DNA sequence: CGGCATGTTTCGCC
DNA sequence: AGGCGAAACATGCC
């Protein structure tokens, strides 16, 4: 889905629904259970929260969990907080509306051509790790718990049960700034390196948030397909597959 | 037309 | 049991 940063942008837009009483819910049965979601009708929205990549709407009838897959965009009252999603559709076709939630004077919808978004009542968030906006200290603690893992550093960064909310682009940016080869086994990091990686993770998350999203980093989509060079040392980026995802890294300064 | 894409889940194998 | 890698999922875009 949009990564945790985009989910946060969606959450902020969803705050407009706090205090509203829901009057109707329409859902594509591939993305949610219409019978289950119908329990929201008549409920009042109490708060809009976020955990990792999920937006959670607390209501008087339960929690509505929104997961946006890879191409899901949230549109509130006709306003799209993210106008165009990287790797998403370039149009806003009503046929791709997979969820529509109405209140008396408001409408919220998820437009998702690829149908990977999911909407559930009372989502199980118990397996999620610390949130991507957690403090350096909390991220460091999460890293220490999984210090033994032999999977690539990038795979651990992407593991939602370790840190919830980091996606492919943020993971590449963290490795870039930390100067680590994303393929390097996480278990090869010593205690100090894990602590440093935690600090970089917290810093990168905040910087990308300030710049406007997961795509704004040095390794972002703007240069992912055209082949660019590392802004630090001029070396052409290497493009490969790590943890099952397209990955870009500098073969010189990322070790 | 072929291949690729900010993700998650499932399955087989250690 | 838990962790790891590969494949599957659905569909628009370049």
3-class state of residue A155 by DSSP: helix
DSSP state of A88: S
> Can you give the pLDDT at residue A83?
83
The rounded Cα A219 to chain-centroid distance in angstroms is 17
**Separation in Å: C10 C1' and A130 CA:** 30
Query: Chain-wide mean pLDDT for chain A?
Result: 96
Q: Please name the residue whose C-alpha is nearest to the C1' of nucleotide C13.
A: A89
**Separation in Å: B5 C1' and A88 CA:** 8
> Can you give the pLDDT at residue A84?
79
Check whether residue A116 has its CB closer than 7 Å to nucleic acid strand B: yes
Check whether residue A209 has its CB closer than 7 Å to nucleic acid strand B: no
Q: Measuring CA to CA, which residue among A72, A84, A127, A242 is closest to residue A174? A: A242
> Can you give the pLDDT at residue A222?
81
Pair of tokens at residue A76 = 């509130």
3-class state of residue A170 by DSSP: helix
pLDDT (mean) for A193-222? 96
DSSP state of A134: S
Nucleotides of B under 7 A from a protein CB: 4-9
Check whether residue A12 has its CB closer than 7 Å to nucleic acid strand C: no
Cβ burial of A119 (10 Å; 0-12, 13-18, 19+) is buried
Question: What residues have CB less than 8 Å from A95, skipping those under 6 apart?
Answer: none
pLDDT above 60 (res A89): yes
The Cα–Cα gap between A235 and A229 comes to 5
pLDDT above 60 (res A1): no
pLDDT above 60 (res A102): yes
pLDDT above 90 (res A138): yes
Query: Which pLDDT band holds residue A200 (cuts at 50, 70, 90)?
Result: very high
Closest nucleotide over all strands to A168 (CA to C1'): B6
Check whether residue A115 has its CB closer than 7 Å to nucleic acid strand B: no
pLDDT above 90 (res A244): yes
Q: What percent of chain A has pLDDT over 70?
A: 100
Q: Measuring CA to CA, which residue among A74, A96, A86, A76 is closest to residue A30? A: A96
User: Taking the CA atoms of chain A, what radius of gyration do you get in angstroms?
Assistant: 19
A37-47 pLDDT, tens per residue? 999 999 999 99
How many CB atoms are located within 10 Å of the residue A47 CB?
Answer: 15
Torsion of CA A182, A114, A7, A91, to 10 degrees: 110
Closest nucleotide over all strands to A171 (CA to C1'): B6
Query: Which pLDDT band holds residue A21 (cuts at 50, 70, 90)?
Result: very high
Angle between helices A136-145 and A191-211 (to 10 degrees): 130
């Amino acid at each position: 889905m949009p990564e945790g940063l985009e989910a946060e942008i969606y959450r902020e837009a969803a705050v407009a629904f706090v205090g509203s009483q829901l009057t109707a819910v329409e859902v594509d049965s591939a993305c949610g259970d219409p019978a289950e979601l119908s329990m929201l009708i008549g409920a009042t929205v109490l708060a809009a929260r976020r955990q990792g990549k999920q937006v959670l709407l607390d209501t008087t009838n339960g929690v509505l969990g929104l997961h946006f897959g890879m191409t899901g965009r949230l549109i509130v009252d006709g306003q799209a907080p993210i106008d165009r999603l990287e790797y998403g559709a370039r149009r806003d076709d009503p046929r791709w509306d997979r969820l529509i939630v109405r209140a008396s004077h408001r409408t919220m919808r998820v437009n998702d051509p690829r149908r990977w978004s999911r909407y559930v009542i009372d989502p199980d968030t118990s397996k999620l790790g610390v949130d991507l906006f957690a403090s350096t200290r909390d991220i460091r603690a999460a890293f220490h718990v999984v210090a033994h893992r032999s999977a690539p550093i990038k795979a651990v960064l992407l593991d939602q049960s370790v840190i919830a909310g980091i996606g492919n682009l943020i993971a590449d940016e963290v490795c870039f700034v930390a100067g680590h080869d994303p393929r390097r086994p996480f278990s090869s990091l010593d205690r100090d390196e894990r602590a440093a990686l935690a600090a970089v993770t917290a810093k990168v998350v905040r910087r990308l948030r300030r710049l406007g999203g997961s795509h704004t980093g040095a390794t972002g989509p703007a240069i992912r397909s055209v082949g660019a060079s590392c802004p630090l040392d001029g070396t052409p980026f290497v493009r490969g597959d790590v943890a099952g995802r397209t990955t870009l890294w500098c073969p010189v300064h990322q070790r």
